[in-house]
Copies of this chain bind each other. A is one copy, B any other.
Amino acid sequence: MKVRVDVMLKQGVLDPQGEAVKSALGALGFTGVEGVRQGKVIELELAEGATEADVKAMCEKLLANTVIESYAIHM
């Protein structure tokens, strides 16, 4: 089974990658870009029977730094 986990920096945490993308888009002539946040997407291929609790444990222990990042699980 395929599971997708999105990991984003929490609101209020400075996102230098996103800021760099925003300024690069501006330099390339794209107007109207008001904000950019960049995060990670992790696609897991799991054996059948894996539960959302398993994936949550993976996020808490490895995939996300929960001090500064939030995650969303899509099963």
Chain A interface residues (CB < 8 Å from chain B): 6, 8, 18, 21, 24-25, 28, 30-47, 49-50, 54, 57-58, 61-63
Contact = CB atoms under 8 A, between A and B. Distances in A.
Copies in the complex: 2
B43 A40 contact: no
B21 A46 contact: no
A44 B50 contact: no
A49 B32 CA distance: 9
A44 to B, nearest CB: 6
Nearest to A7: B41
A43 B39 contact: yes
Contact of A40 (B25, B41, B45, B57): B41
